[in-house]
Chains A and B, each alone.
Chain A
Amino acid sequence: MTENTSQQDPKTQVETARKAFEEEFEDFVRLGDYAEVLKLPLVEALLKRKEFEEFCRRYTGKKGTIASLKKLIGQSGPDKRAILGSQVQQLEKWISDRTNQVHYSLSAYIQQSQLERDRIDVTLPGRRPRRGHIHPITRLRERVEDIFVSLGYAIEDDREIETDFYNFDALNIPANHPARASQDTFYTTEGFALRSQTSTVQIHAMQRRGAPLRMIAPGRVFRRDTPDPTHNPMFFQVEGLCVDRGITMAHLKGTVAEFLRRMFGAQTVTRFRPSYFPFTEPSAEFDFSCFKCGGRGCRICKQSGWIELGGSGMVHPNVLRIAGVDPEIYSGFAFGLGIDRMCALMYGLDDIRLLFENDVRFLEQFD
């Protein structure tokens, strides 16, 4: 085409190019209509775009018709140069106006289709290994430890198999006390006791650290109970001890109440009532207002509004003396509660044997 047109005068050449473009553009013009483009499958649209781009290049590319027409401008005489220049410019603009629409709709459609093709389901589960779970007892134990560390207590633990001295004598449990009987306490064939409370740790700690002292002892303890929905022969307990000058039952109440508020919520009310333990005098049991019903009465609190949780009291002078602390100078409070029991209450377990069955379906619930 350029061969022939080169012979013509520039104005005619511009006109010829315009006509040729118009003729060829017939094939593409409908693609300026987005509704038309939408009818094409993606593959065909890609093909069309390729064809169209080639076609456009022939007119507007570096070696295209417009480029060669622009060369003619330079070659023509100064009088015609301005006219020809504007004619070529008009043609260029005219072509680009016409092609832009097709470009736009084809590209938009292709881009859209590719996005559609690559669209993912963002609601599918993320990719990660199955997560394991910390045992509910450990979770609670860690929480208890964190609370007391923040209150200035040291965490202690010691032996699980103990001498009678630490398990009973040092705790002021008389030689004939039923707890010492082999139907309540496990003994090894060598005659050592499996600790029946973590108070043993308190004695070791008092002997080692002396007074003043603030500590809690969370840990495994053993009592000869036949397993049933509310008993296990092994369970977890936490015992606390605070020995200093001037410690009173008010400090005991304040500490236990603070702990229970942090554990069960700010609205928790704690109640202390007289009780008996050989290692404390005066002794107190503590109940807390039912976290489920807030004290109105429900199944968990057996309609009383209160949940029994643990024992406490002022450390018995005999216990202080045995551990090398002078009860005339120092006084102290102690308290103890069951982590398993807390766990059963908190999560509403109806059978605490589940705690040591390690059924994955059980463990998975403590997320």
Chain B
Amino acid sequence: MLISYNWLRELTGTKLTPLELRERLTMVGLAIDSVDEKDGDSLLDVEVPSNRPDCLSHVGIAREVAVIEKSKVQSPNSKVAKTEGKASDFAAVEIEDTELCPRYAARVVRGVKLGPSPDWLEKRLDEIGQRPINNVADITNYVLHELGQPLHAFDLKKLAEQRIIVRRAKTGEKLTTLDGVERKLDPEMLVIADAARPVALAGIMGGLDSEISLSTVDVLIESAYFDPDSIRRTARKLGMDTEASKRFERGADCENVVNAQTRCVDLIGEIAGGLATEDAIDVYPRPQPVRSVTFRPERVESLTSLRVDAAEMDRILSALGFVSAAAAKDKAKTFVVPSWRVDVGLEEDLVEEIARHVGYERIGSELPPAAMAGEYQPAEIKRRSLRRALTALGFDEAINVSFIDAAHDEVFALAAVPQLSKHSSLVSLNNPIIEDATRMRPSLLPGLLQSLRHNFNQGTKDVRLFEMGRVFVGSEGNELPHESESLGLIASGGASEQDRAQATRELDFYDLKGALEAAIAAVNLPALVFTGAEVKHLRAGQAANISLADGTVIGSVGALSETISAGYKFRQRVYVAELNLTPLFEIAEHEIKYEPLPRYPSVVRDVTLLVGRNVGFTELVAGIESEEIDDYRGVKLVGTYEGQNIPGDKRSVTLRVEYRSDQRTLRDEEVEGRHRRLLDSLLKKFNAELH
């Protein structure tokens, strides 16, 4: 809101320069965004907090300046010079809905001469960004910016039967407002009507039909108080935001209604001539209650640490318009809140009034005495270790927004969200802001795929990303949705090396699986189990379910299916994985157990088996272990081979088996015997051949 420095000086006689005012007002809570010089005046752009509608005028700001400078506001002295007749002789006012309109005052000025405003008035409005229209309209606007009370001038002759009825609109009623837009009204909205039809949208904007014009002779000046919520709802519904609605919806000063109207009528007489009525029709069926606050002065120090003497407290409060009532018991005082301070209702509010005018800068600065030990969230150390393990392997951390396109529904297997059953559903937004992004993501993969596409489009072809974040599915009944924490991975392109232009090989399934394994090892959790599976969004034959040792499936990993890949127009293989971290973080970390170092050397034997391609490595290992061969200590993969000289349905697997005794050094022939037994059973069990 723009405030004219010259105008403010007329009201306060301030001795502060515009730049000093900027600093001082900012420090009492009225931040000044900018100070601009214009035609010998300075304009202060004040950021008025939403709870301070009393500051939405020059007098409002002047009140704060007066407290700062220990001066007084010189309120304009209004005396209407020429009057004749009672307002009720020329018009009638009736409030149908006193809930939404507790007070309505109408006063008539007859025989006005409409025309352009005098220069001083036009200049003043123009400076604060208001377009001059004609003298009467400009005066209502001027008083609004001077005193904060919105006013409206009707052409009295255009009001049917010269009657004002404040009522709710009827279903189907329409009103063309001053901006020329035809508004469809409904009974939620309060209107000012005449005997026939709505003539204004109460507290928001006048109607075109009853607008004053150069041919207007008699005007009716409206000054009223409307229910803030009603004005806000109507303004929102109609997408309107006017100088009037801005003030009414935050709370105008109900006791300022007649005063502002008098000031307006006074100025009309002075500038546009005419004869005002002696009085106003002031319908005030619901007087606003007088509010008072009990105040214990010691609360200032206990909340702010400021020591302020009683006289200074009283000075600040009374300068702000608070009136001290009879002292209550125990040194507590009672203050009557000025009608314009709609924000004050509690003792703490008065503490703030005193603190901000004493100055927050005078409050000390100290740490509270140490009282407790700091602590991270239970899984935070694990999250950090996961991130570091993955970045060490070349994955960049991504963060995607939580809402995704509904087009991704049904595309991805939500292994990471075990709660999703036939009864639950996805979570949708009622009011999305990004078009089509209506779903709360049940999976991190759509976001990661979008990020991958973005990188491809930017020419980055070697991409590895991970993301940790919440995923959502609905609950049954009226419960809050399920939220669980998910880890998503995506990889495509070459296994790039730091500072080298070219990757030495392409990434594949095992890079992603390895990354998951490394991540799990980094958080000291038991190894994950990978089982070949059919997964909706993964390429058949290169897909695995990921489960915990107890068999609970918590995610999947594999090559992205051709269909999805084609949908994104990807031209290179993409590998994705998703893992539900919530159950994972609940598992106990695996215990570290010390075993004495071996006292005797171990002997290893390599064996190359030709097995069916359907025989998995873990199956072979399980087969070996189930034989319970004496002194067997473990087996490791040497390598696998497919292709030339190997039948199409077979694979050659080379394993290294370790034997060791704790009692003695094993002799060659002992090992030979054991290894032979192992081989014989493997050949039988897996229908394998030695290779």
Interface residues of A (CB under 8 A from B): 125-135, 137-138, 142, 145, 148-157, 159-163, 176, 178, 181-183, 186-192, 194, 212, 214, 220, 222, 224-227, 232-234, 242, 244, 246-251, 253-255, 257-258, 270-276, 281-285, 314, 316-317, 331, 355-361, 363-364
Scan residues 390-419 of chain B and give those whose CB is less than 8 A from a CB of chain A. 390-403
CB-based contact B499/A125 at 8 Å? yes
Knowing A134-B397, A357-B451 touch, does A160 contact B483 (C-beta < 8 A)? yes
B61 CB → nearest A CB, Å: 14
Tell me if A360 and B377 are in contact (CB < 8 A). no
What residues of B have a CB within 8 angstroms of the CB of A356 in the complex? 399-401
Interface contact A283-B352, CB-CB below 8 Å: yes
Residues 252-282 (chain B) with a chain A CB within 8 angstroms: none
Contact call A251/B394, Cβ cutoff below 8 A: no
Question: Within the assembled complex, what's the spacing in Å between the Cα atoms of A274 and B462?
Answer: 51
| Any A CB within 8 A of the CB of B193 | no
- Answer whether A250 and B365 are a contact pair too, CB < 8 Å, given A152-B374, A161-B440: yes
Q: Which residues of chain A have C-beta atoms less than 8 A from B469's C-beta?
A: 220
Min distance, Cβ A237 to any Cβ of chain B, angstroms: 14
Please tell me if the beta carbons of A183 and B236 are within 8 angstroms of each other in the complex.
Answer: yes
**A255/B368 in contact, CB under 8 A:** yes
Chain B residues with CB under 8 A of A275: 29, 31, 49
B355 within 8 A of A: yes
Please encode chain B, from 354 to 392, with 1 for each CB lying within 8 Å of some chain A CB and 0 for all others: 011000110111111011111111001000100110111
Q: Are A157 and B371 in contact (CB under 8 A)?
A: no
When the two chains form their complex, are residues B374 and A149 in contact, meaning their CB atoms are under 8 A apart? yes
Q: A271 → chain B, closest Cβ, in Å?
A: 7
Known A135-B398, A274-B28, A281-B349; further 12 A-B contacts with Cβ < 8 A: A131-B392, A132-B396, A160-B472, A194-B402, A194-B429, A244-B368, A248-B305, A251-B366, A272-B360, A317-B346, A358-B465, A359-B455
Q: Say yes or no: is B27 at the interface (Cβ < 8 Å to chain A).
A: yes
**CA A192 to CA B51, docked complex, whole Å:** 26
Residues from chain A with Cβ under 8 Å of B430 in the complex: 182, 186-189, 191
Known: A244-B371, A253-B364. A138 touches B458 (CB 8 A): no
Cβ-defined contact, A132 with B397, below 8 A? yes
Contact B402 A222 (CB under 8 A): yes
Contact A233 B401, CB 8 Å, known A132-B396, A357-B454: yes
Residues of B within 8 A of A272 (CB): 360-361, 363
Query: Which of these, A186, A270, A273, A363, contacts B397 with CB under 8 Å?
Result: A363
Stretch at the interface among B112-120, B474-482, B540-548, B618-626: B474-482
Is B421's beta carbon under 8 Å from chain A?
no
Within 8 Å of chain A (Cβ to Cβ): is B428? yes
Q: Does B228 contact A (CB under 8 A)?
A: yes
Q: List 24 A-B contacts (CB under 8 A).
A: A125-B497, A130-B496, A131-B394, A132-B466, A133-B396, A149-B375, A152-B371, A155-B376, A157-B377, A160-B402, A186-B429, A186-B432, A188-B440, A194-B402, A224-B431, A226-B433, A247-B368, A248-B304, A272-B360, A275-B29, A276-B49, A357-B451, A359-B458, A360-B455
Question: In the complex, how many angstroms separate the beta carbon of B551 from the nearest chain A beta carbon?
Answer: 29
Q: Known contacts being A224-B431, A282-B304, is A271 close to B361, with CB within 8 Å?
A: yes
**Bound Cα distance A294, B27 (Å):** 20
Asked if B458 and A234 sit within 8 Å, CB to CB, the answer is: no
Chain A residues near B392: list those with CB within 8 A: 129, 131-132
Q: How far in angstroms is the closest Cβ of chain A from B622?
A: 32
Contact B464 A273 (CB under 8 A): no
| Residue in A233, A270, A274 with the greatest tally of chain B CB atoms within 10 Å | A274
B368 touches A192 (CB 8 A): no
Is B651 interfacial (CB 8 A cutoff)?
Answer: no
- Assess whether A212 is in contact with B401, with CB atoms less than 8 Å apart: no
Question: Shortest distance in angstroms between A315's beta carbon and chain B's nearest beta carbon?
Answer: 10
The reply on B298 being an interface residue by CB < 8 A is no
B360 touching A249 by the CB < 8 A rule? yes
Please give, as numbers and ranges, the residues of chain A lying within 8 Å of B427 by CB-CB distance. Answer: 161, 188-190
Closest 8 CB pairs of A and B: A274-B29, A282-B352, A149-B374, A132-B391, A358-B451, A276-B49, A125-B499, A274-B356
> Are A251 and B367 in contact, CB atoms less than 8 angstroms apart?
yes
| B481 pairs with A192, CB closer than 8 A | yes
Q: Is the CB of B401 within 8 A of A360?
A: no
Give the CA-CA distance A273 to B25 in the complex, in Å: 10
Select from chain A the residue with minimum beta-carbon distance to B379: A157
CB of B360 within 8 A of CB of A212, answer: no
B495 contacts partner chain A, Cβ-Cβ < 8 Å? yes
CB distance from A142 to the nearest CB of B (A): 7
| 8 Å CB contact of B431 from A178, A182, A242 | A182
Q: Are A212 and B372 in contact (CB under 8 A)?
A: yes
Query: What secondary structure prevails in chain A residues at the interface with B?
Result: mixed
A274 to chain B, nearest CB (A): 3
Among B352, B480, B499, find the residue whose CB has the most chain A CB atoms closer than 10 A.
B352
CB closest residue in chain A, given B466: A132
Q: In the complex, A286→B27 CA distance in Å?
A: 11
Assuming the contacts A188-B440, A254-B365, asked whether A360 and B460 have C-beta atoms less than 8 A apart, the reply is yes
Please provide the chain B residues from 287 to 311 with a CB less than 8 Å away from any CB of chain A in the complex: 301-306
Docked complex Cα distance between A176 and B50 (Å): 13
Q: Which residues of B contact A186 (CB under 8 A)?
A: 429-433
Residues of chain B in range 121-138 having any CB-CB distance to chain A below 8 Å: none
Q: Is there an interface contact between B376 and A149, defined as CB atoms closer than 8 Å?
A: yes
Decide if B387 touches A234 in the complex (CB within 8 Å). Answer: no
- In angstroms, Cα B485 to Cα A159, docked, is 11
B229 touches A176 (CB 8 A): yes
A-chain residues with CB within 8 Å of residue B483 when the two chains form the complex:
159-161
- Check B45 for interface membership: any CB of A closer than 8 A: no
Residue of B nearest to A185 (CB): B431
Shortest distance between the CB of B664 and any CB in chain A (Å): 43
- From B27, B373, B433, A152 is in contact (CB under 8 Å) with B373
CB < 8 Å: which of A126, A178, A212, A249 contacts B305?
Answer: A249
User: Complex Cα distance A137/B399, Å?
Assistant: 9
Report the Cα distance A137→B360, complex, angstroms: 31
Q: Is the CB of B374 within 8 A of A274?
A: no
Min CB–CB distance A29 → chain B (angstroms): 52
Docked CA distance A234–B437 (Å)? 13
B351 at interface (Cβ–Cβ under 8 A)?
Answer: yes
Q: How far is the CA of A183 from the CA of B541 in the complex (A)?
A: 47
B232: CB under 8 A from chain A?
Answer: yes
B-chain residues with CB within 8 Å of residue A181 when the two chains form the complex: 236
- A308: nearest chain-B partner, CB-CB: B31
Q: How far is the CA of A275 from the CA of B355 in the complex (A)?
A: 12
Take A160-B470, A161-B472, A182-B430 as given contacts and tell me if A134 and B391 are in contact as well, using a CB distance cutoff of 8 Å: yes
- In the assembly, what is the distance between CA of A231 and CA of B454, in Å? 20
Residues of A within 8 A of B49 (CB): 275-276
Please give, as numbers and ranges, the residues of chain A lying within 8 Å of B46 by CB-CB distance. none
Given contacts A161-B481, A250-B364, A276-B29, contact A282 B355 (CB under 8 A): yes
B52 at the binding interface (Cβ < 8 Å): yes
B348 contacts chain A at the CB level, 8 A cutoff: yes
Q: Are A253 and B428 within 8 A (Cβ)?
A: no
Residue numbers in B under 8 Å from A224 (CB-CB): 431, 433
Q: Quick one: which of B200-234 are within 8 Å of A by CB?
A: 228-229, 232
Instruction: Answer yes or no: B3 CB below 8 A from chain A CBs.
Output: no
A156, A178, A189 — most chain B CB neighbours (10 Å):
A189
B500 interface residue (CB < 8 Å to A): yes
Within 8 A of A (CB), among B320-372: 343, 346, 348-349, 351-352, 355-356, 360-361, 363-368, 370-372
In the docked arrangement, what's the CA distance between A356 and B399, Å?
Answer: 5
In the bound complex, do residue B500 and residue A125 qualify as a contact, i.e. CB atoms below 8 Å apart? yes
B566 located at the interface, meaning its Cβ lies under 8 Å from any Cβ of chain A in the complex: no
Are A314 and B27 touching (Cβ within 8 A)? no
Contact residue among B365, B451, B480, B498 (Cβ-Cβ distance under 8 Å from A129): B498
Give Cα distance in the complex from A192 to B481, angstroms: 9
B352 touches A281 (CB 8 A): yes
> Which residue of B26, B52, B474 is within 8 Å of A276 (Cβ)?
B52
Asked whether any CB of chain A lies closer than 8 Å to the CB of B516, the reply is no
In the complex, which of the residues A138, A157, A188, A276 contacts B428, with contact meaning CB atoms closer than 8 Å?
A: A188
